[in-house]
Amino acid sequence: MFVAMAAAWQLQRITSNGGWVDVVWTFGTGATAALAALAPPTIGDAWNVRQAAVAAVVAIWSMRLGFHIALRVRRSAEDARYQRLRESWGAAFQRRMLRFLMAQAACSAVLIGAIVLAARVPADGLRARDLLALALAVSGVVGAAIADAQLARFKADAKNRGGTFRSGLWSLSRHPNYFFEWLAWLALPALAAGVSGYAVGWLTLAAPAVMYWVLMHATGVPMLEEHMLRSRGEPYRAYRQETNAFFPFPRRKVRST
């Protein structure tokens, strides 16, 4: 992933669009993780049904999100988050961007490691617990796709330009797509943590923990909401007061003063 993100850095330099690094990260993480999940523990062994199931879900996640981001990057101006970084980093943008992408590669290593651990749980076949965990992952992918589609339909209507979308899943969370992405990663400890005789399975808890931190405290919510407050103003400020940032919950009633 370090090589992939170095290539992503070069790509954003050529295109002057930082959004392409998200495309490379998503496809790169997905491809590396799926192949690693299928790799047999011992040379010459064949992969088993658990490895295949985990690799398939990872591939579905990667392709869905990767193509979604790629289409958005191709059709739109540079993501506001990267525009903001260009402004704040100034002449040091490219140097700091490279360090930033290397940090993303390190995060990918944690996620990929968790996927490998989930794929190599020492159990024959798929248990009921495994099926529920895989269903959780698929639910996360589907939920994120629905949230993205709802927002895309809203933005496609010219009369909504500059408006704040507050319907569907977006009435329950300001970032339902992020929540469902995190939910998909929560499937890894559901597969591996606490399995008898497999203490390393607890390490899979790192995946949803890292993803939550990235989304809520690093490149996700803080940077996006800073832009939304600047561009949407009071309507978005009211939306923040009424609606949870991450975990879906019915809208709060805010007393007017």
State the pLDDT at residue 255: 63
Q: What is the pLDDT of residues 64-82, one digit of tens each?
A: 999 999 999 998 888 888 9
pLDDT level of residue 60 (50, 70, 90 thresholds): very high
What angle do helix axes 93-119 and 19-38 make, rounded to 10 degrees?
30
Look at the block and give the residue holding tokens 């998909």: 184
For the chain, the average pLDDT equals 92
DSSP-derived letter for residue 79 is P
pLDDT in tens, 160-175: 888 899 999 999 999 9
Q: Give Rg (Cα) of the chain.
A: 20
pTM score of the predicted model: 0.90
H or E stretch at 157:
none
Q: What is the mean pLDDT of residues 228-241?
A: 90
Query: Which residues, 6+ apart, have CB-to-CB distance to 127 below 8 Å?
Result: none
Residue 203 confidence (pLDDT): 94
Q: Is pLDDT above 90 for 218?
A: no
Where are the domains positioned within the chain? 2-242
Q: Which of 2-11, 103-112, 174-183, 187-196 has the lowest mean pLDDT?
A: 187-196
Q: For residues 180-207, give the mean pLDDT.
A: 92
